[in-house]
Amino acid sequence: MINSRYNSPGIARITSIFILVSAIIVPGKAQSPVPEGAVLEHLESGFQLCEGPFWHPDGYLLFSDVWSSIIYSWSEENGLATFLSPSGQANGITMDLEGRLIIAQHRARQVGRIEEDGTITPLATHYDGKRFHSPNDLTVKSDGAIFFTDPPWGGNPSEMNFHGVYRIPPNGGDPQLLAGDITYPNGIAFSPDESRLYVDDSNGKNIFVFDVIDDTALANKRVFANLGGTQGADGIKVDGTGNIWIAGSVGVAVYSPDGDRIGSITVPGTVTNLTFGGVNGKMLYICGFNDLYRMDLTGQTGVDTKFDEQPETIGLNQNYPNPFNPSTLIRFDLPKELHVRLSIYNMSGQVVDVLLDRRMDAGSHLKEWDGSAHSSGVYFYELAADGRRMIQKMNLMK
């Protein structure tokens, strides 16, 4: 059953509790992306295992209550509602390039796709004739391939003597084993340019990083960071600037792409997973075992076209949401007043829209692109300013 309209009984809704959080900033390192004095808002409680948060392009949060076998939706307007039940003990949630939800299912021991009628189409159930342990977390590459982890946490009898990281090809087919030497592979995420893949080992508390070779293979495995604490790392997300956000027993830890720990967020209890959401992608949603939280990473209310901070260099950030339908927000930074041209290209290299072509003040700016008049697919947006050209990729899904 898919339903995002009605409130769920037995779950306590708490939207008025705010916990003060101090961002830990490490001297001599890159600046923490966690604003000093940011607050952690407690949204909901009463779950058995809150996991797999995913911000839907239509403007609401999805997340799993694994042991209850329910996927919930949450929004400011509608609050908490059951989205899918039963979910096959779904954990991780993501979306393919056609806008269809993809889930990792513990009990069903598969990666599945949620269809419009609420049925689930299996995408991967076996490797080399043996059933998966309990697919846990997953991410979709820009070519449509699905990467996922398979630790032994679903309580199922094991048919394999290793725990793997796998790839499902863009057009489907048999899953490909990418790595089988991580004790308990869990969280998984790409760097913004998809040249690196981060995978954590919850048993060994290590976060590993691999080089992605020809979009289909992993190489040069190495330790990126060690989270420490009494429990290892869990969910991982990478922001548009390449910082790695890691959930674990110590709360949320933030690392720069160079591996320096640059910030942290203290959260009551153990954190299982996290995701970015909201209108501008600057709202951090955090799953604890029994609770759902969020934190505004802007320190602002609403969305302005110009921000107060003074950038030091020209920058073009990843659009948000991405994938999107029909509109998305593009943020760029100017260290001084400059003439700016912000253009949208299709896969053929043709200009399909020009959002800006004028002088702009110094600062961080936000510009919306409405793709209603364009077909689904991959697009590129280019910022040209001060003799420089910067390009990012985005996915329009209808």
pLDDT in tens, 117-143: 999 999 999 999 999 999 999 999 999
The predicted structure's pLDDT at residue 14: 39
Percent helix, strand and coil across the chain, each rounded to 5? 0, 50, 50
The pLDDT value given to residue 270: 85
185-190 and 196-201: which strand pairing? Answer: antiparallel
Identity of the amino acid at 345: Y
Contacts of 229 (CB under 8 A, 6+ apart): 205, 248, 249, 250
Bridge-based pairing state of the strands 50-56 and 60-65? antiparallel
Tokens of 1: 């059953």
Asked if residue 138 lies in contact with residue 165, where contact means CB atoms within 8 angstroms, the answer is no
The strands making up 244-248's β-sheet, listed across from edge to edge, are 236-238, 244-248, 251-255, 261-265
Q: What pTM did the predictor assign? A: 0.74
* Closest CA relative to residue 201, chosen from 218, 177, 224: 224
The arrangement of strands across the sheet holding 146-150 comes to 138-140, 146-150, 164-168, 176-179
Q: Which has the closest alpha carbon to 297: 285, 309, 313?
A: 285
Burial class of residue 385 (count of CB atoms within 10 Å of its CB; 0-12, 13-18, 19+): buried
Q: What is the pLDDT of residues 256-272, one digit of tens each?
A: 999 999 999 989 888 99
CATH of domain 12-296: 2.120.10.30
- Kindly state which CATH superfamily the domain 315-396 is placed in: Macroglobulin (MG2) domain (2.60.40.1930)
Domain-wise residue ranges, the chain: 12-296, 315-396
What amino acid occupies position 66?
Answer: V
The strand pair at 217-226 and 236-238 is best described as unpaired
Enumerate residue ranges in the chain where pLDDT < 70.
1-29, 228-231, 250, 299-309
Paired residues of 294 in beta bridges: 41, 285
The count of other CB atoms within 10 Å of the CB of residue 300 is 13
Q: Hey, how many other C-beta atoms are within 10 angstroms of the C-beta on 298?
A: 17
**In the prediction, which pLDDT does 157 show?**
87
Angle (nearest 5°) at CA 67 between 13 and 199: 100
Please give the single-letter amino acid code of residue 381. Answer: Y
